[in-house]
């Protein structure tokens, strides 16, 4: 039996790699999150809403983003118009065919913001719904891995791409969870002013 006080090197190495990647990309990530917050604030102050979407583990990110936009990050403000449009299945499962696409067709209006989360996995339903959102003239704000292989090809010049550091879905998820909270704080800061 191994000594419980000895930390396996792969654990600390994995954490160090994730922290290093986040540190090295922090300035760039902050700029992209700022642009994403501005796009969301512009949509909301123009009377539009934010449709948050994800597939598989991205469902959790979409639900958390919608929750934070509606409830806020601790500062008093009215709820914002945000909703999670996710698969009929739970997080971590494959979406029901066409379900996300049907939701964006039913709920999306030109000028709305499509906040989508891709962990660079097999996310065909998310890709289809994002293409529909683009065709319906929703503003795309997409958080993906740096490869942007699933949603990247759909991003237009007027959209916002937030590239997250990391190659594996687990690292992307951890960074995206942090980014969702920072994005919500940035939205609140734009609407309410920075906290002193």
Range with lowest mean pLDDT among 58-67, 95-104, 111-120, 140-149: 95-104
Q: What is the pLDDT at residue 117?
A: 95
What is the per-residue DSSP string for 19-70?
A: HHHHHHTHHHHHHHHHHHHHHHHHHHHTT--EEEEESTTHHHHHHHHHHHHH
pLDDT band at 90 (very low <50, low <70, confident <90, very high): low
Residue of higher predicted confidence among 18 and 165: 165
| Nearest-angstrom CA–CA distance, 31 and 185 | 14
- CB-based contacts of 71, cutoff 8 Å, min separation 6: 79
Q: What is the pLDDT at residue 73?
A: 87
C-alpha separations of 4 from 7, 8, 11, 13 in Å: 7, 9, 13, 18
pLDDT band at 195 (very low <50, low <70, confident <90, very high): confident
Hey, what domains does the chain have and what are their CATH numbers?
A: 24-191 (3.40.50.10490)
**Centroid of chain to Cα 187:** 14
Mean pLDDT of 112-132: 93
Residue 96, pLDDT > 70, answer no
Residue 9, pLDDT > 90, answer no
Range with lowest mean pLDDT among 167-171, 178-182, 190-194: 167-171
Q: What is the pLDDT at residue 18?
A: 78
| Nearest-angstrom CA–CA distance, 187 and 167 | 27
Indicate the SS3 state at residue 98: coil
DSSP 115: E
Indicate the SS3 state at residue 117: strand
Residue 166, pLDDT > 90, answer no
| Helices 9-24 and 169-192: angle between axes, nearest 10 degrees | 40
Q: What is the pLDDT at residue 89?
A: 57
Q: Which residues sit opposite 141 in a β-bridge?
A: 115, 160
Residue 124, pLDDT > 70, answer yes
Q: Are 69 and 187 in contact (CB under 8 A)?
A: yes
């Amino acid at each position: 039996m191994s000594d419980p006080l000895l930390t396996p090197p792969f654990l600390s190495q994995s954490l160090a790699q994730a922290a290093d990647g986040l540190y090295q990309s922090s300035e760039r990530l902050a700029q992209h999150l700022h642009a994403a917050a501005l796009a969301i604030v512009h949509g909301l102050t123009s009377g539009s809403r934010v449709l948050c979407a994800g597939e598989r583990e991205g469902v959790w990110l979409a639900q958390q983003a919608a929750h934070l936009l509606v409830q806020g990050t601790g500062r008093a403000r009215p709820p914002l118009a945000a909703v999670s449009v996710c698969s009929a299945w739970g997080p971590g499962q494959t979406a029901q065919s066409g379900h996300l696409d049907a939701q964006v067709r039913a709920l999306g209006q030109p000028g709305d913001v499509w906040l989508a989360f891709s962990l660079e996995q097999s996310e065909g339903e998310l890709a289809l719904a994002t293409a529909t959102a683009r065709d319906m003239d929703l503003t795309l704000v997409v958080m993906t891995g740096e490869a942007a292989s699933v949603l990247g090809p759909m991003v237009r010049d007027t959209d916002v791409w937030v590239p997250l550091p990391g190659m594996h879905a687990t690292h992307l998820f951890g960074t995206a969870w942090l980014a969702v909270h920072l994005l919500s704080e940035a939205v609140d800061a734009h609407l309410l002013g920075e906290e002193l």
